[in-house]
Amino acid sequence: MDQTHKSSPRDVFMHLLVTVALYVSAVSFLTLLFQFINVWFPDDQLFRSGSNSSVRWAIAWLVIVYPILVWLSRFLHKDMLRNPWKAELRIRKWLMYLTLSVASGLIAGDLVALIFNFLEGGLTAQFLFKVLAVLIVGVGVFWYYLYRVRSGAKVFTQSGKSFVWATTIAVIAVLIGGFIVAGSPFQERALKIDRERVSDLSYIQGEIINFWQNKDRLPENINELRDDISGFIPPVDPETKEEYTYSVKGALIFELCATFTSSSDESSVNAERNIRYDLYPPGSIGGTWEHPEEFKLLKENKWSELEFEIHLMIEHPEFHVGDWFDAGAKRVVVHVETISDLEIITDVADKHDGEVLISFSPEIPAENFSLY
């Protein structure tokens, strides 16, 4: 090969770029497939976050990078048809054989993981479909690059064209599915605002508790929490800019409310399947809490078939158990030290066809159990 047939800076750049675009597209494609499998074949043994950020990132990368990959591949192929000697460029061969090696390693590792999990007794539908997804992507990349190495500067055969079209159709289908799983941007914005509201309520609750600890009483209104020394200013609703609703219900009981914009149908599809929540409703002293309406949002959609146990760590739980049963709780745990009237609690549970469990402190003598 003479001097004129050596790789130019443009050749090096274009071949590096198409290789990077391939890897990014393959990873994004697999990420979306994995998220679909998580939704369609949930694994009770695995914790899954409710966030769809990984889906949105994968969609964003695939929408931008895959068209670049197609255009670059087409551009390089046409360039080789005009200049057949470019099929023998060292940079092209190095990167192609590198990709073949990566694809081979991916396929081998995938099969090793399959055999290992089979021997460990860890084969689940979710795992098997993920193995299949990795295998399909690995074999597809390996076949295509082996075909390109062998075909060189020749015109695409029908099988090559069919593979490219099938891949493009698969990418489009996965992108459509990704948009469905991720939900609309408007729904996500509403959910983010609601999460901010929950955070604000928890923040305000902590300041109410500090106020009570310092002054041995609850504040009369939310503006009484304002403190010029500490710099605390009660947060307001992030959308309406109105104050959150606060009212005192008793010496140790208060109500803190917000109006949420998202509906229960917009709960994340990546919800956990088996969950126990220790929830601290309004009026608790210390800790954090999730109010009944927020719990109801989580309960009504994907979790509707589950039974939830709500642990109420609060004085006078009889005033609050009804709210949690209304929100969808099946079982409520109350502490015997905080109960003023157990009959009220059991009557509320009976009306909701729910259950009540009583928690005893280790210091309480065992013979006192018979009283309940």
**pLDDT tens digits, one per residue of 107-123:** 999 899 889 888 887 78
- Domain final position from 131, 154, 182: 182
Q: Are residues 49 and 136 in the same domain?
A: yes
Interval 62-74 mean pLDDT: 92
Q: Are residues 365 and 295 in the same domain?
A: yes
The count of structural domains within the chain is 3
- Domain final position from 258, 281, 304: 258
pLDDT top residue among 65 and 368? 65
Q: Are residues 137 and 68 in the same domain?
A: yes
89-113 pLDDT per residue, tens: 888 889 999 999 999 999 999 899 8
Poorest-confidence range of 19-23, 145-149, 189-193, 302-306?
Answer: 302-306
pLDDT for res 49: 45
95 sits in which H/E element: helix 90-119
Q: Are residues 207 and 168 in the same domain?
A: no
SS3 213: helix
Residue 288 has pLDDT above 60, yes or no: no
Determine contact, residues 283/249, Cβ cutoff 8 Å: yes
Q: Are residues 285 and 223 in the same domain?
A: no
Q: Are residues 176 and 304 in the same domain?
A: no
Residue 324 has pLDDT above 80, yes or no: no
Q: How confident is the model at residue 222 (pLDDT cuts 50, 70, 90)?
A: confident
- Domain final position from 182, 202, 234: 182
Nearest to 56 by CA among 166, 205, 181, 148: 181
Q: Are residues 29 and 78 in the same domain?
A: yes
354-372 pLDDT per residue, tens: 888 787 766 666 666 555 5
Interval 128-157 mean pLDDT: 86
pLDDT for res 103: 92
- Residue 90 Cα to chain centre, angstroms: 43
Task: Give the pairing of strands 331-335 and 355-359.
Answer: parallel
Q: Are residues 201 and 132 in the same domain?
A: no
How many angstroms separate the CA atoms of 128 and 110, rounded?
A: 10
Q: Are residues 252 and 157 in the same domain?
A: no
pLDDT for res 245: 84
234-282 pLDDT per residue, tens: 888 888 888 888 888 776 677 778 877 765 444 433 333 323 334 344 4
How many angstroms separate the CA atoms of 53 and 32, rounded?
A: 11
331-353 pLDDT per residue, tens: 888 877 777 777 788 888 888 88
pLDDT for res 299: 52
Q: Are residues 55 and 14 in the same domain?
A: yes
Q: How confident is the model at residue 51 (pLDDT cuts 50, 70, 90)?
A: low
pLDDT for res 50: 45
pLDDT for res 127: 87
Q: Are residues 24 and 93 in the same domain?
A: yes
Q: Please provide the average confidence, as pLDDT, over all residues in the chain.
A: 77
Write the CATH number for 297: 3.20.20.70
What residues make up the domain containing 208? Answer: 184-258
Q: Are residues 115 and 198 in the same domain?
A: no
CA angle, corner 325, sides to 372 and 280, nearest 5?
80
